[in-house]
Amino acid sequence: MKLALYRTFLRDKPYQYSMPPLGLGYLAAYVKPRCWYCEVRFFLDPEEIFAWKPDIVGISSATENFCDAMNLAGRLREEIGAKVLIGGAHITTLPHTLPDCMDIGIIGEGEETLTELMRLYNDKSPAPSDLRNIKGICFHENGRVVITEPRELIADLDTLPMPDREMLGENWAIPFSAESHLITSRGCPYDCTFCSAPAQWKKVRFFSAGYVIREIEHIRKTYNPEEIFFFDDLFIGHQPRFREICRIMKERGLHEGVVFRTYARANLIDDEMADLLAEMNFRYVDFGFESNSRPVLEYLNKQGVSPEINQRAIDLISARGLSIGGNFIIGSPHETREQMEETLEFIRKNKTLLDRCSVGPLQAPPGTRVWHYAKSRGLVSDDMDWSRYIVDFDNMDMTRDPYLCETMPVEEFTALYYEFHRLATEINLRGEIRKMGDKLERSRSRERALRSRLEALTGSRLVRLAMKLKRG
């Protein structure tokens, strides 16, 4: 039996294929030893799947790419007769919308579910009565979608093997040698109005500090990257664990010769945390500031965050010479122009302290409170064109994207958005230049260290040779 894995992405959006999908890497690493009879491959190019002719294809898709997932699924079933499984945040939050072109949806985390499905398909072609016994899936029966009993979350994430990066390959926009990423938790301890993490993961769970250290050691030994990116929703969210990870890294020197990047949260930054991030070489720290208007922060449910705390986080991190990134959201339903301008002024004030800046309109991911609000207003629906969620930040078209702001005409909002966009572009260009300078300086430091080692090695050989000649 052959299982192909694929993640939908937009080739004209480099961020979507900059790093490999570790979620599929976890699935493969879990399934392979438990289903030894199943050959598992990952495909970056969907056309190559047809030549391999797998029995089953597992597709992972986010909402904005779900139309592409449906198109591919239809072709796979028609042209090679493959069974199509769909996973990811979209189907997890909208399982009742499983399209006819897909056989089964995997709801939530899929390691155990996919393993059970592979065993079932290896034994026979399953009937609906067989599928009903598998927790955490949706499937078709008699013209309707059946959703089975929810699957329990994996209690101990340390029981999972590390993701199969070798299978995922290295043909990504950012090679492993330049930047490798890892995910050390599932979910987020917070519950922002616009974020689908709570709906997808239900609760936050963490890999242990020991597990994280082993994965860092594996990444450094295997790929020796210049940068390691902790891609969690909030890596520092479990502060005792974060401090334990830092303690072990320092003991073993794992923070030397590499720089780290992480997402942080403004209300978790104090002098002690800022010092620790700097000491452990977390060169790049990114924040979801979202807004600098108090009422908007409250609407977005940014618990514990205020304009003053946002500024304090920037001041503390910049004082340590670390590189800061900021993400911002404008266009909440009742957000006024004046409130958006408060955020714009905050960015202007800190533009020399920011190296990365992202600004976009509020979206309504399925499963979020914003989704339910937008649905009640008729702005989104279960059968909408999901490609409307693809945002072209350089050519914003809010007449096509679901427009949530109720306080200004779309034309006025678009004009204001471009003020944000121009400022963000300036910040990002300056940040790229700084990062190039940082990389150049690190290269020079490595060169000096290597020359020093070479000179020491050469010197010791000369000393030994001189002593030998003297004895002779």
Which pLDDT belongs to residue 440? 85
Which pLDDT belongs to residue 448? 82
- Tokens for 243, please give them: 């401090």
Residues 6+ apart with CB under 8 A from 195: 188, 233, 365, 368
Which pLDDT belongs to residue 206? 97
Residues 6+ apart with CB under 8 A from 286: 261, 262, 263, 264, 324, 325, 326, 327, 356
Q: Which helix (H) or strand (E) holds 147?
A: strand 144-147
Chain centroid to Cα 312, Å, comes to 26
Which pLDDT belongs to residue 405? 96
Query: pLDDT tens digits, the chain, 472 residues: what are they?
Result: 999 999 998 776 656 667 889 999 999 999 999 999 999 999 999 999 999 999 999 999 999 999 999 999 999 999 999 999 999 999 999 999 999 999 999 999 999 999 999 999 998 888 989 999 999 999 999 999 999 999 999 999 999 999 999 999 887 877 788 889 999 999 999 999 999 998 888 899 999 999 999 999 999 999 999 999 999 999 999 999 999 999 999 999 999 999 999 999 999 999 999 999 999 999 999 999 999 999 999 999 999 999 999 999 999 999 999 999 999 999 999 999 999 999 999 999 999 999 999 999 999 999 999 999 999 999 999 999 999 998 888 888 888 888 999 999 999 999 999 999 999 999 999 999 998 888 888 778 777 877 887 777 766 665 566 666 666 5
Which pLDDT belongs to residue 459? 63
Q: Give the bridge partners for 4, in sequence order.
A: 41, 57
Residues 6+ apart with CB under 8 A from 343: 291, 292, 293, 296, 328, 330, 420
pTM of the model: 0.91
Which pLDDT belongs to residue 464? 62
